[in-house]
């Protein structure tokens, strides 16, 4: 009797382990269409809390040709990109589904570092002689999603 119970528990562990491995691989890799869809601006806007940001991005001139993930996720290497995509995505899902979406969505300190690094990466030649320790959007205020279309000047 004990041997049979032990075998069943081992089989259950193996089955759940295999299911866990398959599920993990699917979540890490997923079908290519799912991965591509989850990096589209339409996917980011599917959360109703992001409508204002999506509308602002859509009217942002040259930057409307790039995706949200091009600015808001690390793009130095694929592993870092997908790790932060998972972290940020799960955080967003939890915040949205728990009803704790802030009235005004703002960049975290980590998000600000990522956006700054991506600005410098994309505009490397143009900023090569500039002080890149200041946040790019301090001068380029029209790039902030809430003020897109407003030409800002430095105080």
| Residue 90 in domain | yes
Q: How many CA atoms lie within 13 A of 39 on its CB side?
A: 19
Residue 70 clears pLDDT 90, i.e. is over it:
yes
2 and 45 belong to one structural domain: no
Looking at the domain assignment, is residue 115 inside a domain? yes
In a domain, residue 110? The reply is yes
The pLDDT of residue 118 is 94
Domain extent, residue 60, equals 32-147
How confident is the prediction for the chain on average, in pLDDT?
81
One domain for residues 54 and 110 = yes
Residue 76 domain-assigned?
yes
Between 1 and 19, residue with greater pLDDT:
19
Residue 155 lies in a domain: no
Q: Please tell me which residue, 72 or 50, carries the higher pLDDT value.
A: 72
Other residues' Cβ atoms within 10 Å of the Cβ of residue 75: 17
**24 and 40 in a common domain:** no
- Total number of domains constituting the chain: 2
Q: Is 118 helix (H, G, I), strand (E, B) or coil?
A: helix
* Residue 38: pLDDT band with limits 50, 70, 90: confident
Q: What is the per-residue burial (b if ≥16 Cβ within 10 Å, else e) of 83-117? A: ebbeebeeebeeeeeeeeeeeeeebeeeeeebbbe
**Average pLDDT rounded to a whole number, residues 61-70:** 84
The answer to whether residues 69 and 80 belong to one domain is yes
pLDDT in tens, 116-138: 999 999 999 988 888 888 888 88
């Amino acid at each position: 009797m004990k041997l049979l119970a032990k075998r069943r528990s081992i089989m259950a562990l193996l089955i759940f382990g295999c299911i866990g491995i398959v599920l993990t691989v699917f979540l890490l890799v997923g079908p290519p269409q799912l991965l591509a869809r989850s990096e589209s601006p339409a996917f980011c806007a599917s959360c109703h809390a992001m409508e204002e940001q999506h509308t602002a991005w859509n009217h942002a001139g040259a930057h409307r040709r790039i995706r949200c993930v091009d600015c808001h996720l690390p793009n130095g290497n694929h592993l870092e990109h997908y790790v932060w995509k998972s972290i940020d995505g799960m955080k967003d899902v939890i915040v949205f589904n728990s009803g704790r979406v802030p009235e005004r969505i703002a960049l975290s300190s980590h998000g600000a570092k990522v956006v700054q690094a991506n600005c410098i990466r994309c505009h490397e030649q143009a900023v090569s002689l500039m002080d890149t320790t200041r946040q790019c959007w301090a001068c380029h205020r029209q790039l902030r999603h809430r003020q897109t279309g407003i030409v800002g000047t430095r105080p």
